[in-house]
Structure 1
């Protein structure tokens, strides 16, 4: 068969394209996207830039960065959602994981309604076909080198060239897919005998656990999950028993499980607490699972949520147990391209260089003294005697892979999967069994050993040789030590404030509703704790102002007839309002996170600025109510919301 000239030209162009010439996002557009679509026969005048952004409420908005859209027409006035064909988003060259960009492109595609959306970093190319009433179809997941294959390039051209795409009837396609779905649903409901047959196709409910492998099965949904194992990330696969999704397998990685499924566990689907659910009508939900979107019935969603609750609780427990065992909670978690771990402290560059030099001299292959226990692994230091690794130390680098600009090096307790894989291939069945001074060191012990033994040894060893001042070198250490008391040990009310600020920061960026059961004891205990505050407290207008916002949020509008003169409002009025909020939440199943944020701000202000008379019983109740809420906020800020924050940056 003769290959058309237009396809030949496309193949010639892509085979001659060198992606190494791309230096930034502008290059990706000017030297890759625009030429490619020109060879796909898209007229330049059918193209328009599309401004993207994220607004203060956390929702995507405009006027921040640009994507590209191609339309069927070159008439600017007619370039709209009815004529849009392809949405393209270019991302930074060094980003090889495109999940964040895909989610953003999916969001904007819902707004501009193209037939396809594409995400590329100039080398990797992902092309999705939008099926509005079913799931998105990933039609191409390739890179430039793969696309240079003549057959693949031909398929790419035949699928995405302008003359083919512009003739796809998007409205007809959507209508047919939706109609097909509805007809099947109606047909099943109208034939009870068929329902009996289909019920026999349901999965057999069960829960199976073998090591780190967990399988949870409900009649409509099954999830098989590889739980996170020490430092290794987990993943899962979701399947449905419905004939509409027979054969569909949805795979979620570690970030997708945490970012999409972990929020709103054990809540009802009607409460709008779960990030992956969006109600379409009384009986149907739009469900976003990783890069796949499906429409599920309420019954299917109920089974899905039951599976998610079981899997995610175990997933969460695995992460918490890991952090508890390695004593890492008090250290900042960092995750960057070459490594991940926890910041222990920081040192000046010259001290770090001495630490590396000492590790080189005392490699465990060079002697048998008590200090011959190091081995260089790239730029990191491996503390080991060759048989068992104790810990891995890594210097934090900036994005340009140069040392931090202020000449201060963060010392990272590095998470190293190889260490734990070697442990579990030995006689031990659980990596936790190896934790201790003679085995795997915790983050806390590693920090203690570095500061009390290793660094003093390094300074003493080189002090005469290089005429170094011990005092000057020790002064180059910045120790990140927490001065807050443990919640259980607090006896002064002001020491509650740092924990309340953690909770408020969490609530401020939380967008879903929260189960009221988590907040009821918190609202009640802290209202009682601050009840007997001296009425002369400053900032009563701030307190009342936040209470007003809560009231307006709940009533959806300001009732001007009930607005009092703020100058005459007292602290007793504020307590009465807080009591009303306690009564309200006690009769609610869920709470808006905005309300919880405002009420927490009020508690913080009163505790930090008021003279409060409280009993030991009130303080104990406040600590008891605070602990589970703070632990929830700590886990989500560290393992869930950081993923969403990273997507926005």
Structure 2
């Protein structure tokens, strides 16, 4: 090991970056010598390796600059056998973000262990992870990776025998034995008949919150969440090799593992928990369990998950609908889910707490209009003996966009254990029927009451009693920290510009989408609707370069767009390209989230800048078509992503 990295260091110190005049120089004078010194043989290398990506036009051809394979036999140098792919750029190409994205898209097809991106002056290495985003493990300039420490790190990370051993570990003998056993079982019809006798009878049973889904090879049985809390499930299999295997998932595991990719085929690379290994086998990781499934088992498992996780997600989405909470950022209060409402200065919060204590509903001679409070350590409860209206907590910090420069308390609507809790006398009440002004208050209703009635009342009482309200309500810097535009009041739309806040949410979701590909079906209708809506735009106030370049960057012949000067011609070209993508979405099962991210940026700029004369009926229809995609984006950002980031 010592000699390896010292030899590499000596070469890196002598290597002359001034000789790199173009991309070919970077490959021939840096990449190829580097990998030869790291032990990679020419028989394991393929230059300009063709891959097929869905980018603009179905089947558009791309080439990977260099691919190093575990196999020396060219016929076996296929997806899954790749060790490292290299994307090289010119030395004067300083910004390598697009090259990184390009390498990652190639990685989705070839499934190597490592991605290398370089311009000869800078060397970046990503490690691909099966169930998470790629991990950056090396990013140094020449003067840094040519040092002894840099050369040693490069050797330990990229040396051929090291990477090959990692590849072989992922394709170990236990996997081979499993494949042979599966093939032997399938080779004998009599054994197959015996095994089939143990298949589950296909069935679905739903009683209250309990749901059981059975397919011949797999079963899920569990409890759906009440509101945003609780819920669990257990997965079992009928196959003789997996009988007795029980995989138990709690609420957090269901959200982090099962929610992404609902409704997609096992082989589409859209789910977190499953990866295709061969034509007939899949590797599944759920909770702390890893197992390999046949193609039929994988299909049955995904079918069960689609029904259970789909119902689970629908229950949580319905809860947010009923609570009117979608546009309120999610926070946490002592570990319980909460929705951010508003902020007040700390001295004013003390006056609010004093008001609540003075108007406890149990005090004699109480004012019936205001005496609805009850002491609760993080804040106070609103309600009385008939039931709870809301639980209001006050927290010191938020996980997003907290204003700085002054001390605040952030008021949140709290769901203890993720559930709206009625009083002890009415525990059996259906919480969904109890939401409203006369029962459990929704988040929106509570926010209105708090900011329009309680806080002004406290301020007025202070003045009446000869005091000054010690502070004020602070809302605007936090309530919409991520979007350029606020959501329309009460969710009503009367112009196309009000769609921008929702498109921004969708675009942010696509930017950080947590799976490698996205089902095309979820975006087909919204994409075409936004494209058609854009035809109403008055281009006189448009930033045409930004709008058209975003669409051009994800369709073929992007270099021609910049040469078109006439605004009408450029817009016609823009919509032509949009139609190409819309046609692709009709034909392909999955699509790159990055491609759609650029398209959404284009639509956002178009709707934000342009004046549009659109009938109210068309606007209503547009919102109806966009809302399911927006809710899906919000659901994953609010409930799935925080668990993936732990």
TM range (shorter): 0.5 to 0.7
In structure 1, the partner of 2:555 is: 551
In structure 2, the partner of 1:443 is: 443
In structure 1, the partner of 2:605 is: 605
Deviation at 1:219, TM superposition (A): 0.9
In structure 2, the partner of 1:635 is: 635
**2:65 is the alignment partner of 1:62:** no
In structure 2, the partner of 1:335 is: 332
Residues 275 and 512, structure 1, Cα contact 8 Å, conserved in 2: no
Aligned residue among 488, 492, 495 for 1:485:
488
Choose 430-439 or 214-223, whichever is displaced more.
430-439
Cα distance between partner residues in 2 of 1:634 and 1:245: 37
Deviation at 1:506, TM superposition (A): 1.4
**2:508 is the alignment partner of 1:505:** yes
Deviation at 1:76, TM superposition (A): 9.8
Shift in alpha-carbon separation, 1:247–1:406, aligned structure 2, 3 A? farther
Deviation at 1:310, TM superposition (A): 0.8
In structure 2, the partner of 1:41 is: none
Deviation at 1:132, TM superposition (A): 5.2
Choose 383-392 or 419-428, whichever is displaced more.
419-428
* Residue aligned with 1:637, SS: helix
Query: Normalized against structure 2, the TM-score is what?
Result: 0.67
Query: Normalized against structure 1, the TM-score is what?
Result: 0.67
Deviation at 1:252, TM superposition (A): 1.5
Cα distance between partner residues in 1 of 2:380 and 2:163: 48
Cα distance between partner residues in 1 of 2:154 and 2:632: 50
What pairs up with 1:338-349 in 2 under 5 angstroms?
A: 338-349=335-346
What pairs up with 1:495-574 in 2 under 5 angstroms?
A: 495-510=498-513, 511-531=515-535, 533=537, 538-551=542-555, 563-564=559-560, 566-568=562-564, 570-574=570-574
* Residue aligned with 2:554, SS: helix
Cα distance between partner residues in 2 of 1:376 and 1:540: 57
Shift in alpha-carbon separation, 1:132–1:233, aligned structure 2, 3 A? farther
Shift in alpha-carbon separation, 1:581–1:260, aligned structure 2, 3 A? same
Residues 525 and 618, structure 1, Cα contact 8 Å, conserved in 2: no
Residues 340 and 414, structure 1, Cα contact 8 Å, conserved in 2: yes
Cα distance between partner residues in 2 of 1:77 and 1:53: 13
- 1:431-473 CA-to-partner distances (Å, cap 9, x unmatched) read 22333444322222322333344334433444455x3235x64
Aligned residue among 205, 216, 232 for 1:219:
216
Residues 356 and 373, structure 2, Cα contact 8 Å, conserved in 1: yes
Deviation at 1:368, TM superposition (A): 4.8
**2:396 is the alignment partner of 1:397:** yes
What pairs up with 1:254-273 in 2 under 5 angstroms?
A: 254-273=251-270
The CA RMSD over aligned residues, in Å, is 3.9
- 1:471-522 CA-to-partner distances (Å, cap 9, x unmatched) read x64x444367785337985342222222221211111111432222222222
Deviation at 1:223, TM superposition (A): 0.7
Cα distance between partner residues in 1 of 2:365 and 2:342: 29
Cα distance between partner residues in 1 of 2:563 and 2:250: 55
- 1:253-302 CA-to-partner distances (Å, cap 9, x unmatched) read 22221222112222222332222221111111122212322211111111
In structure 2, the partner of 1:205 is: 202
Residues 259 and 640, structure 1, Cα contact 8 Å, conserved in 2: yes
Choose 204-213 or 191-200, whichever is displaced more.
204-213
* Residue aligned with 1:383, SS: strand
Shift in alpha-carbon separation, 1:235–1:111, aligned structure 2, 3 A? farther
What pairs up with 1:295-334 in 2 under 5 angstroms?
A: 295-334=292-331
- 1:186-220 CA-to-partner distances (Å, cap 9, x unmatched) read 22011110111101111122211222111111111
**2:373 is the alignment partner of 1:374:** yes
In structure 1, the partner of 2:177 is: 180
Shift in alpha-carbon separation, 1:291–1:575, aligned structure 2, 3 A? same
Deviation at 1:351, TM superposition (A): 1.1
Shift in alpha-carbon separation, 1:565–1:356, aligned structure 2, 3 A? closer
Choose 231-240 or 443-452, whichever is displaced more.
443-452
Choose 441-450 or 291-300, whichever is displaced more.
441-450
Shift in alpha-carbon separation, 1:486–1:305, aligned structure 2, 3 A? farther
* Residue aligned with 1:640, SS: helix
Shift in alpha-carbon separation, 1:110–1:478, aligned structure 2, 3 A? farther
Aligned residue among 283, 289, 299 for 1:286:
283
**2:244 is the alignment partner of 1:247:** yes
**2:231 is the alignment partner of 1:234:** yes
Cα distance between partner residues in 2 of 1:642 and 1:419: 19
* Residue aligned with 1:564, SS: helix
In structure 2, the partner of 1:165 is: none
Deviation at 1:612, TM superposition (A): 5.0
Cα distance between partner residues in 2 of 1:63 and 1:342: 39
Shift in alpha-carbon separation, 1:368–1:404, aligned structure 2, 3 A? farther
Deviation at 1:53, TM superposition (A): 9.3
Cα distance between partner residues in 1 of 2:523 and 2:311: 23
Residues 382 and 393, structure 1, Cα contact 8 Å, conserved in 2: yes
**Larger RCO of the pair (alpha carbons < 8 Å, separation 6+):** 2
Residues 207 and 216, structure 1, Cα contact 8 Å, conserved in 2: yes
* Residue aligned with 2:198, SS: coil
* Residue aligned with 2:439, SS: coil
Cα distance between partner residues in 1 of 2:575 and 2:638: 33
Deviation at 1:316, TM superposition (A): 1.3
Deviation at 1:523, TM superposition (A): 2.6
Residues 393 and 413, structure 2, Cα contact 8 Å, conserved in 1: yes
Cα distance between partner residues in 2 of 1:602 and 1:481: 25
Shift in alpha-carbon separation, 1:344–1:112, aligned structure 2, 3 A? farther
Cα distance between partner residues in 2 of 1:325 and 1:218: 33
In structure 2, the partner of 1:25 is: none
Structure 2, gaps ≥5 residues long:
1-124, 140-151, 481-485
Cα distance between partner residues in 1 of 2:425 and 2:211: 20
Residues 286 and 295, structure 1, Cα contact 8 Å, conserved in 2: yes
Cα distance between partner residues in 1 of 2:291 and 2:437: 50
**2:594 is the alignment partner of 1:594:** yes
- 1:151-186 CA-to-partner distances (Å, cap 9, x unmatched) read xxxxxxxxxxxxxxxxxxxxxxx42x2233123212
* Residue aligned with 1:356, SS: helix
